[in-house]
Structure 1
C-alpha cells in the first residue's frame, strides 16, 4: 500500500486548462460587431495559473469596413463582457497544446503590416486557427465569414465529440 501511495505522489501533475469558444452577438448599445474569441482557464502541470482570453480584430472599425487589409490587434474581453457572450463548447488541452495556442496568438499579433481582413483574416479565421491547434476540424466556409455564432454552431456540428449544444 505504501508503495502505491508513494507512486501516486511521484506522478507528474496533469494540466487542467480549459479552452472555451465564445461568440458575441454584437450590440448597438456597446457599438460592437458580432465577434468570436477564446477563454483559457485552469492550471498547467507546473502549477502556473491560466486566466486569459484572446480575440482578433481590426484596430479601427473604419479600416475593418473598408476594402483591403487593416491594422490588426489581439483584443481581450472583460469579465462583464464575457458574461454576456455565448459559450459554445469547451475543450481541455495539454501543456503542449496550451503553448502552441499562445504561439499562435503571438504569431497573429506580431504579423507584420496590416493583417486584419474582413474576408480573409477576421476573428473567425483567428479562432479557427486556434481550434485546429486543439485538434478540431475548423474550416471557414464563405457563408459564415461574418456570422461568428452560426460559425461556432457549425464547428460544434462538425466535431460531434464536443457534444456542443446549438446556440439559437
Structure 2
C-alpha cells in the first residue's frame, strides 16, 4: 500500500471515529416566572440534560415557597419548602432565559437547592427569603450577575428580566 493510500485511509478512519464519538453531555438550567395567581412558586428553575461524568439524565425543577399560604406571610417568617411543579404549571409559565452549565456548576447548583431545602424553619419570608431570592441565588451559582439590592423581589418576571439585562450574553 502506498503512503498516499495509507494517509487517505487513516484520514477516513479518524473521520469515522469522530462521527461515532458520543455527543458531549450538557445540563441546561432554565429560569421561569409565573404571573401571580393561586399556585406557587412564582419563580423557579427547570434543569434538563445529561451529567457529563456519569451520563445521568436530569429532568427536574425547583422553586421555593411557603408551605401554607395565609395572612401570616404578611406578618413575618413562616415555614417554607423547596417544591417541584407539575408539567402543566411549567407549560403555563414563562421561560425567561437558559444557561448551560458544566458538571461542577450543576453540583454547586444542587448543593444550593439542598441548602434552601434544609434551612431551619421558619424559612420563608416574603421580604427576605421568597421564590425570587431563591432563583437569585441560583442565578449567582450559574455565574450570572444579579442585583442583590433590587426593588423587584416581589415581581418574579421583572426580576428575571433585570437579571437578563445585567447579563447581555443571555441575548
TM-score, normalised by the number of residues in structure 2: 0.84
Aligned twin of 2:39? 32
Whole-Å Cα distance in 2 between the matches of residues 5 and 99 of structure 1? 34
Q: Give RMSD over aligned pairs.
A: 2.3
2:29/2:101 contact within 8 Å kept: yes
Question: The residue matched to 1:156 in structure 2 has which SS?
Answer: helix
Aligned twin of 1:147? 155
Question: The residue matched to 1:143 in structure 2 has which SS?
Answer: coil
1:44 to 33, 39, 51: 51
What is the deviation of 1:65? 2.3
What is the deviation of 1:68? 1.7
Larger radius of gyration: 2
Question: The residue matched to 1:62 in structure 2 has which SS?
Answer: coil
Whole-Å Cα distance in 2 between the matches of residues 22 and 103 of structure 1? 20
Alpha-carbon distance change, 64 to 135 in structure 1, aligned in 2, over 3 angstroms: farther
Alpha-carbon distance change, 100 to 63 in structure 1, aligned in 2, over 3 angstroms: farther
**What are the Cα deviations for residues 69-108 of structure 1, in whole angstroms up to 9, with x where unaligned?**
1101001111111000000000100011111111000000
Unaligned 5+ segments in structure 2 are 1-10
Structure-to-structure mapping, 1:32-111, within 5 angstroms? 32=39, 35-45=42-52, 46-62=54-70, 65-111=73-119
TM-score, normalised by the number of residues in structure 1: 0.85
Aligned twin of 2:25? 15
Question: The residue matched to 1:90 in structure 2 has which SS?
Answer: strand
Q: How many residues matched?
A: 160
